[in-house]
Amino acid sequence: QIEFSGGESWYAGGAFSCGGAVVLSRKQPGKVFFLDKKGKMLGDSMYDKSWAFSENVAAVAVNNRWGLVDLSGKLVVPYQFDVIDFHSCGLSATCMGQKWGYIDSTGFRVIEFSYNFAGVFNLSNGLACVEVG
């Protein structure tokens, strides 16, 4: 367990990516937040779920709704989606109302929500797997 200024403590964390790491809260079981490399909490929010930072944003969920935060912890895409996956190649696979598509880091729908499933873009070839039908 590590405790730092602000009184929050954590006991397990992920790898640093883009200068932030997702950690599990010790004081609020089941919640996660982000730390910077100095052990300072990024922003002041706790989340139910999150992905690691990628391309300066991270997908986070509160009350089963997903949005995106930036490296300061500021919510840049409101909690409005059913699922947002890991951000890759400038886009996040996103689900809303049982249909998948892709949004950019501002929440703009770059590829319409018309798939039964959409996967993360592969960094090596720029392709993503989708299910149509």
List pLDDT tens digits, range 105-131: 999 999 999 999 999 999 999 999 999
Number of neighbours of residue 78 by Cβ within 10 angstroms: 11
The sheet that has 57-62: what strands, in order across it? Answer: 49-50, 57-62, 65-70, 75-81
Residues pairing with 22 in the sheet: 34
Do the beta carbons of residue 59 and residue 65 sit within 8 Å? no
Under the banding of pLDDT at 50, 70 and 90, the label for residue 7 is low
pLDDT digits 0-9 by tens, 27-73 = 888 899 898 888 888 888 999 999 999 999 999 999 999 999 999 99
Do the beta carbons of residue 51 and residue 66 sit within 8 Å? no
Give me the residue label for tokens 């729908």. 109
Under the banding of pLDDT at 50, 70 and 90, the label for residue 1 is very low
Do the beta carbons of residue 43 and residue 58 sit within 8 Å? no
Residues pairing with 123 in the sheet: none
Q: What is the pTM of this model?
A: 0.87
Do the beta carbons of residue 11 and residue 26 sit within 8 Å? yes
> Residue 99 half-sphere exposure, CB side, CA atoms within 13 Å?
11
Distances (CA, A) of 5 to 28, 29, 38, 75: 16, 19, 11, 22
